[in-house]
C-alpha cells in the first residue's frame, strides 16, 4: 500500500513554508542548485525577502570549486534589492566586492568577513563610510590595521558588537596597543568585544575599559601580553559580566587555536586569492556560476578606483 508520505507533493506546501525551508540551506546551495529544481522554487528564490540574510560559508577550497563564490555573492546582494541586513563572506572577499555590498545595502546591520586577505584597510574604510546602521561586525584573520578600525568606529556609531580575531602568539616582544586604542577611542557603544589572539597589553585593556563603558562581554583569550591582576582584574570583574581570560579554554572557539611561539599571524595565512572576474549572460532563470560564466553584474570590478 502506498503511504501518504510517498505520494505527498512537496510543491503543494504553502509558499511561506517552502521559503523557510529554502532559506535554511544557505546562499551557495540556493544559487547553485535549489533555484534550478522547478519554476516555483526559482520564483521563490528570486524574492528579495529571501536575501535579507546571506551566508556564504564555505571551507576555503576555492581552487577546487566549479563555481565562483564572488559572482554568487554579488548576485545574491543584488537580489536583496537593498533589503540586506546580514552577510557572511569567507575567504573570497575583496575590496571591490565589499564596495558592491556597501553601495547596495545601506541598512546592513551585521557584517562578517573571515580570512579575506584581499580586503585592505582602504577598501574596508570606504565600505564602512556607507554602512551607518551597522551594529555587529566581525573581522577574523584578515590583514586590517588600526587605521581601518578608526574609520569603522567613526562611521558606524551604532556598533554594539565587534570581533577582531587573529592567531595567538606567545612572543611577548610583539606588543601593540594600536588596535585597542582605536577601539577605545571610536567605539564607545560596544557591548560585546572579542579580541582573540590580539597583541594588546594591560595599557590597551585599560583604555578599552575607559573608552567602552557599556561592555558586558570581553574575550581576551590568547591575548598573552595581558596580565590580569590587582586593580585591573578587579575592575574587569566589577564591570564585565562575561570575561574570557587570556588562558581560558578555547573549546567553544570556532577557528584553529594552536598557539604560535614564533612569527606573527600575518605570516601564517596565505593571500593571493584571484581577483573577481564579472562577465555576463542575460539568461537568469538557470544561472550558472562556473568560472567561465559570462554574467554581467553591471559593475566593472577590475576598474574600481579608490580616490
Return the pLDDT at 276: 36
Instruction: Mark the ranges of the chain whose per-residue pLDDT is less than 50.
Output: 263-287, 292-307
pLDDT confidence of residue 8: 67
Q: Phi and psi dihedrals of 214, rounded to 5?
A: -95, 5
**Predicted pLDDT of residue 110:** 98
Give the global pTM.
Answer: 0.82
Please tell me the predicted confidence (pLDDT) of residue 63. 87
Could you tell me which residues are beta bridge partners of residue 261?
A: none
116-168 confidence digits (pLDDT tens): 999 999 999 999 999 999 999 999 999 999 999 999 999 999 999 999 999 88
Amino acid at each position: 500500500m502506498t503511504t501518504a508520505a510517498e505520494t505527498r507533493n512537496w510543491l503543494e506546501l504553502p509558499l511561506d513554508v517552502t521559503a523557510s525551508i529554502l532559506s535554511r540551506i544557505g546562499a551557495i546551495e540556493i544559487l547553485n542548485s535549489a533555484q534550478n529544481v522547478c519554476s516555483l522554487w526559482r520564483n521563490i528564490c528570486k524574492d528579495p525577502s529571501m536575501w535579507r540574510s546571506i551566508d556564504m560559508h564555505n571551507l576555503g577550497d576555492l581552487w577546487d570549486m566549479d563555481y565562483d563564490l564572488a559572482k554568487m555573492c554579488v548576485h545574491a546582494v543584488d537580489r536583496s534589492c537593498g533589503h540586506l541586513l546580514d552577510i557572511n563572506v569567507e575567504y573570497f572577499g575583496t575590496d571591490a566586492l565589499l564596495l558592491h555590498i556597501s553601495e547596495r545595502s545601506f541598512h546592513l546591520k551585521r557584517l562578517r568577513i573571515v580570512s579575506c586577505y584581499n580586503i585592505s584597510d582602504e577598501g574596508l574604510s570606504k565600505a564602512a563610510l556607507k554602512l551607518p546602521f551597522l551594529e555587529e561586525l566581525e573581522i577574523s584573520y584578515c590583514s586590517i590595521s588600526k587605521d581601518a578600525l578608526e574609520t569603522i568606529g567613526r562611521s558606524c556609531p551604532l556598533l554594539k558588537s565587534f570581533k577582531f580575531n587573529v592567531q595567538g602568539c606567545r612572543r611577548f616582544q610583539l606588543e601593540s596597543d594600536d588596535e585597542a586604542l582605536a577601539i577605545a577611542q571610536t567605539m564607545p557603544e560596544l557591548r560585546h568585544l572579542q579580541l582573540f589572539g590580539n597583541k594588546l597589553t594591560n595599557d590597551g585593556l585599560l583604555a578599552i575599559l575607559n573608552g567602552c563603558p557599556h561592555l558586558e562581554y570581553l574575550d581576551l583569550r590568547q591575548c598573552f601580553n595581558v596580565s590580569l591582576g590587582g586593580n585591573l582584574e578587579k575592575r574587569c570583574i566589577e564591570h564585565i559580566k562575561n570575561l574570557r581570560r587570556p588562558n581560558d579554554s578555547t573549546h567553544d572557539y570556532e577557528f584553529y587555536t594552536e598557539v604560535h611561539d614564533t612569527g606573527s599571524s600575518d605570516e601564517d595565512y596565505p593571500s593571493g586569492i584571484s581577483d573577481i572576474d564579472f562577465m555576463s549572460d542575460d539568461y537568469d532563470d538557470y544561472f550558472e556560476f562556473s568560472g567561465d560564466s559570462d554574467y554581467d553584474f553591471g559593475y566593472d570590478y577590475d576598474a574600481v578606483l579608490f580616490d
